[in-house]
Amino acid sequence: MRYWIAVLAIAMISGAAGVLFLLGQNQPDAVVKISLTSAPFPLTVGTSTLLVSLTDGTGAPIEGATITVEGNLGHLGMLPMTGRGNTLVNEVYPVRITWSSADDWIIDVIAVLADETTVIREQFEVYVYAIPPFYDNPAARYRSVSENTEIVTANADREHWIIIAQGTQAVLRQGHGEDSEDILLKVGGQDTLVIRNDDIADHTVGPFFVRSGETIRQRFTEPAVFQGVCSISDNGSINIIVEG
């Protein structure tokens, strides 16, 4: 009996070790990061180049990876647009891809590292413009869905985040915007409003005018109600209600 228990225990330990070994081989390194920008920035209809940056924990570029990019509109019947790159140029992987429509695109970036087993993924929500807008910010980049989620949830018990997505103004002009909802805050609880403007246009949210690329952070210490213009919603107005 003891013999079989010992055999079983060894088998289980070996199996667990094997699984851990395989997981260790295939799990992406947590510090490997994918960043995304484009030339031109922002993207416009037609063929353009996505610039995918793959960095390790020290921020150094990772060589030898293969990058696959897939862009989806999420419309029925629309085929995804794909591109591939495996050459590091000026510390980024250029990936040529054609955008067939001025719209919101979901871009999946998949990086297979040189070991051919480690796979890193990131998803980006990017608006593609019909006409090249005037925009001049060499440091501009797209923020991944996971990056946004991380920042929004990090202090969710006290911070209420509004992330104004890139392309918000263009979408509103297309008539595809959404009405705003009241922002409810609570003094002593979730009492800090943070607005980050990732759009290429400036925006007004109630009493706050937030330029492209800016983040504004307001902590409320007293109950109040602010009504005002809202340039990020279809109905054009918003209420910020701070409860006691």
Partner 1 sequence: MTYRWMILTLVGLMGLSACSGGDQAMPTLHGAIFDPPRALTDFSLTSTTGQLFTLSEHRGELVLLYFGYRTCPDFCPTTSIELRDLYQELGESAERVKVVFVTVDPERDDLESLTRYIAAFHKAFIGLRAEGDSLQSLMGQFGVIAERRPLGDDPQSYLVDHTASIFLIGTDGRLQAQYLYGKDYQDILSDLKIILKATPRTN
Note whether 122 binds partner 1 by CB under 8 A.
Answer: no
By CB under 8 A, is residue 233 in contact with partner 1? yes
Question: Using omega within 30 degrees of 0 as the cis cutoff, is the peptide bond preceding 42 cis?
Answer: yes
Subset of residues 57 to 116 that bind partner 1, contact rule: CB under 8 A = 104, 106
Interface pick for partner 1 out of 27, 56, 98, 158 (rule CB under 8 A): 158
Q: Which residue has the tokens 């103004």?
A: 169
Q: Does 160 bind partner 1 (CB under 8 A)?
A: yes
Q: Which stretch binds partner 1 (CB under 8 A): 3-11, 21-29, 108-116, 162-170?
A: 162-170
Q: 88 or 159, CB closer to partner 1?
A: 159
Q: Report the distance separating Cα 82 and Cα 70, nearest Å.
A: 4
Task: Name the segment binding partner 1 (CB under 8 A); options: 31-39, 49-57, 82-90, 149-157.
Answer: 149-157
The site for partner 1 (CB under 8 A) is made up of: 104, 106, 125, 127, 148-149, 152-165, 167-168, 171-172, 176-178, 181, 183-184, 190, 192, 202, 204, 207-211, 213-219, 221-222, 224, 226, 229, 232-233
